[in-house]
């Protein structure tokens, strides 16, 4: 079916690429997910074209137009790079692929044979879901929709192109992609597609860890991530990706927790999604209590269903390290998640927290992750079923972390130091130097504009000439001023976070 008169916005670089192919006598269409996103009024993250030109023709046409081309695959896809565009332009790099037909998929992963075609309709037949089997010509403003993908977009339905069993037998990863599109778009599956997902779940054993990882991470990062992870379990897919999570199903926690470990993990992830936290924080939210089922013990041995989970953060951190290794995630990502899970139980009694304990925590986690750890604690709290996002305890943590991380008020703030006074000014080292620096600090605290090397050098020379007792009094006054300002800054932090 062809439709005309669409109102969609396509980058000029994409339109230009289509025009170049058409001017050379070929057909060309924007195709697949980018058309889907356009029809949903979403901004595509990348752009794909399909054409009846073969790879050699594609390369020749675009090279003649002054563009750079890269062809390094067995599927005919040519990357076209427009050197005149900024790297951040979405149409800077476009993938152009010939129309294709595919043979059998004997390994449930890749087609045994790929053949180029001259018919766009044949190309659309090989695609996974109707919402992706769309081709659009922006020059003639024509949409080709042979499988009513536009209708399924309007209905919020995920449906395979043709027989679902055939599509999932061809490439088992499509099973997880079906869940991923649901998590990203909030769509549901038609009955045939949903049934086939269940029936073909075991085919995931043929899919590489890298391909599973890519889809799983997109689900964790999706707007409907909680539903996506839940669906992976419902369809029997999660056991092939992260079976550790399923250990929490039915694992009651008691106490302040309204949910079992599984539901708590999903609710924690949901809060991370709602807050827009980074992917590694959302991943940590999903896995932060993964060690609880393996550490659960009865609190008193009397069958009261009161439980302890001592050391679950240590066990969980080791487990999540294995998960990230199995999914072949980067070392940087793995290290971040490990630290967040390992230290997510860092304090339980706010009255017992000391600044030295907070400093140790900042050292263990790192300044770059400490606020992510606080965000994870918020996810953890909301995931228990308690609506208050930042109780007194978390506010106090925030205040104390800010206190230990901010630059202290000290002589280190000055533009002058002992090395300058001895090495450049020839002054004699000794106790007088400390008094001079504190006397200078008092002046700078009163008027920060005086904190220049030129001014402080002159003042230091004058102070060194004062009688020792007079200089000592000025130095002591500077110390008292420093302590006063420190106290004032800490009180401001406490007022900011509404803590004592």
Q: Which CATH superfamily is domain 2-155 in?
A: Beta Polymerase, domain 2 (3.30.460.10)
User: What is the per-residue pLDDT for 486?
Assistant: 66
Where do runs of H (alpha helix) occur along 202-260? 209-220, 225-234, 243-246
> What CA–CA distances, in Å, run from 71 to 78, 260, 356?
5, 51, 57
| Intervals of the chain under pLDDT 50 | none
Residue 4's nearest CA partner among 145, 130, 155, 151 is 145
Where are the extended beta strands (E) located within 303-399?
A: 307-308
| Integer Cα distance of 452 and 229 in angstroms | 58
Residue 66's nearest CA partner among 28, 16, 30, 11 is 16
Q: Which helix (H) or strand (E) holds 81?
A: strand 78-81
User: What is the per-residue pLDDT for 427?
Assistant: 83
464's tokens: 């060194």
Residues of the chain with CATH 1.10.3210: 243-402
Looking only at the bridges linking them, the beta strands covering 48-51 and 93-98 are parallel
> What CA–CA distances, in Å, run from 353 to 171, 350, 361, 443, 490?
54, 5, 11, 35, 16
What is the pTM (predicted TM-score) of this model?
A: 0.81
User: What is the per-residue pLDDT for 255?
Assistant: 72
Residue in the structure block whose two tokens are 């099973």: 175
73's tokens: 């695959």
Other CB atoms within a 10 A radius of the CB of residue 45 amount to 9
Residues 222-266: pLDDT tens digits? 999 999 999 999 999 999 999 999 999 998 887 777 789 999 999
Q: Which helix (H) or strand (E) holds 209?
A: helix 209-220
Residues 204-223: pLDDT tens digits? 999 999 999 999 999 999 99
Residues of the chain with CATH 3.30.460.10: 2-155
Q: What does CATH list as the number for 243-402?
A: 1.10.3210
Residue in the structure block whose two tokens are 């926690």: 253
Alpha-carbon torsion (244, 381, 356, 412), positive or negative: positive
User: What is the per-residue pLDDT for 215?
Assistant: 98
Three-class DSSP category at 126: coil
Three-class DSSP category at 407: coil
Three-class DSSP category at 366: coil
Phi-psi region of 471 (alpha: psi -120 to 50; beta: other; left: phi over 0): alpha
User: What is the per-residue pLDDT for 349?
Assistant: 60
User: What is the per-residue pLDDT for 97?
Assistant: 94
Per CATH, is 157-240 categorized as 1.10.110.30?
yes
Residue 96's nearest CA partner among 124, 125, 59 is 59
């Amino acid at each position: 079916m062809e439709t005309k008169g669409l109102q969609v916005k396509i980058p000029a670089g994409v339109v230009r690429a289509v025009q170049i192919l058409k001017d050379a006598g070929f057909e060309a269409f924007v195709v697949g997910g980018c058309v889907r996103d356009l029809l949903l009024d979403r901004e595509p993250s990348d752009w794909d074209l399909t054409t009846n030109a073969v790879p050699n023709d594609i390369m020749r046409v675009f090279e003649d137009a002054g563009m750079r081309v890269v062809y390094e695959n067995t599927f005919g896809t040519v990357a076209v790079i427009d050197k005149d565009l900024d790297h951040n332009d979405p149409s800077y790099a476009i993938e152009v692929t010939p129309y294709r037909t595919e043979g059998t998929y004997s390994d449930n992963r890749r087609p045994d044979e790929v053949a180029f075609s001259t018919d766009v309709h044949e190309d659309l037949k090989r695609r996974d879901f109707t919402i992706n089997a769309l081709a659009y010509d922006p020059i003639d403003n024509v949409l080709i929709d042979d499988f009513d993908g536009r209708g399924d977009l309007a209905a919020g339905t995920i449906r395979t192109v043709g027989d679902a069993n055939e599509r999932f037998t061809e490439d088992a990863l499509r099973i997880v992609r079906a869940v991923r599109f649901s998590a990203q778009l909030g769509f549901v599956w038609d009955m045939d597609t949903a049934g086939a997902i269940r029936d073909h779940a075991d085919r995931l054993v043929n899919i590489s860890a890298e391909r599973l990882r890519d889809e799983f991470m997109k689900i964790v990062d999706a707007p409907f991530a909680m539903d996506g992870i839940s669906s992976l379990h419902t369809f029997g897919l999660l056991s092939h990706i992260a079976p550790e999570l399923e250990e929490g199903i039915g694992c009651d926690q008691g106490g302040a927790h309204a949910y079992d470990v599984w539901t708590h993990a999903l609710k924690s992830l949901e809060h991370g999604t709602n807050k827009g936290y980074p992917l590694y924080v959302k991943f940590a939210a999903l896995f932060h209590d993964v060690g609880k089922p393996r550490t659960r013990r009865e609190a008193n041995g009397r069958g009261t269903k009161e439980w302890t989970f001592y050391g679950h953060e240590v066990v969980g951190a080791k487990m999540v390290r294995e998960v990230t290794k199995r999914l072949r995630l980067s070392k940087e990502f793995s290290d971040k998640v490990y630290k967040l899970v390992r230290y997510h139980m860092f304090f339980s009694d706010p009255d017992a927290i000391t600044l030295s304990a907070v400093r140790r925590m900042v050292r263990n986690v790192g300044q770059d992750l400490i606020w992510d750890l606080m965000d994870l604690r918020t996810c953890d709290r909301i995931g228990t079923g308690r609506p208050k996002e930042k109780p007194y305890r978390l506010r106090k943590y925030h205040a104390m972390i800010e206190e230990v991380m901010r630059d202290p008020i000290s002589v280190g703030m000055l533009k002058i130091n002992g090395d300058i006074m001895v090495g450049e000014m020839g002054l004699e080292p000794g106790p007088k130097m400390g008094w001079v620096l504190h006397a200078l600090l008092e002046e700078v605290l009163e008027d920060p504009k005086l904190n220049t090397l030129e001014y402080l050098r002159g003042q230091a020379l004058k102070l060194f000439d004062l009688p020792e007792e007079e200089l000592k009094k000025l130095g002591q006054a500077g110390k008292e001023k420093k302590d006063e300002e420190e106290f004032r800054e800490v009180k401001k932090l406490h007022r900011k976070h509404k803590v004592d």
